[in-house]
Amino acid sequence: MDPPLAVTVPKGWEALHLSPSFFDAGRDEEGLFSAVMFFRPAVVVGAAGGEPAATPEEAVALLRQNDGLTVLHEERVRMLGLDGIQIDLVAAHEDTQILGEGAALLGIGPDSDLRLTFLSAADGILVVGLLSPAGELEAWLRTSKPVVDSIRLVP
């Protein structure tokens, strides 16, 4: 992943997916899946399908056009020394597509809550995501805080 990231995960967590533009780590407790995710998406899924987004503002604007998603909260943030926008999303339908590598990569359904932080990196956007079962995002924010706090850009 470029920029390269370093992340520390506690005992009991597991690496879930790994590709050049996406990796995540999380926990599955009694069928309730939660994860911390990292993306360099090629596309963001808006009304017309997957489209490139060069800035956090473009990415959020595309997601707001996606009929299957509702943006619950939006705020400007600074993370990893980068400026960005953080949004909370819920989906109306199963497998509502959000981000991709050309083809779809991340989709959620109504049984999940998702917080995405879009950061302005030197050559596009970097996304940090927190996925939890519906109604559990606040609890997951507390549980995942050590992982989120451990994220570092590697020079």
Domain ranges of the chain: 15-150
Span 64-78, mean pLDDT?
95
C-alpha neighbours within 13 Å on the C-beta side of residue 53:
28
State the fold for domain 15-150: Protein Transport Mog1p; Chain A (3.40.1000)
Distance of CA 86 to the CA centre of its chain: 10
pLDDT tens-digit readout, 88-139? 999 999 989 999 886 657 889 999 999 999 999 888 899 999 999 999 999 9
Span 49-54, mean pLDDT?
90
Contact 71, 138 (CB under 8 A): no
pLDDT at residue 116 in the model: 97
CA distance to 5, 66, 127, 150, per residue, from 155 (Å): 9, 35, 18, 15
d(CA 95, CA 107): 5
pLDDT at residue 103 in the model: 63
- Taking alpha carbons only, the member of 75, 49, 73 closest to residue 62 is 49
pLDDT tens-digit readout, 21-47? 888 889 877 766 789 999 999 999 998
Span 1-11, mean pLDDT?
78
CA distance to 24, 35, 111, per residue, from 15 (Å): 6, 9, 22
Contact 119, 82 (CB under 8 A): yes
Asked whether residue 3 carries a pLDDT value surpassing 80, the answer given is no
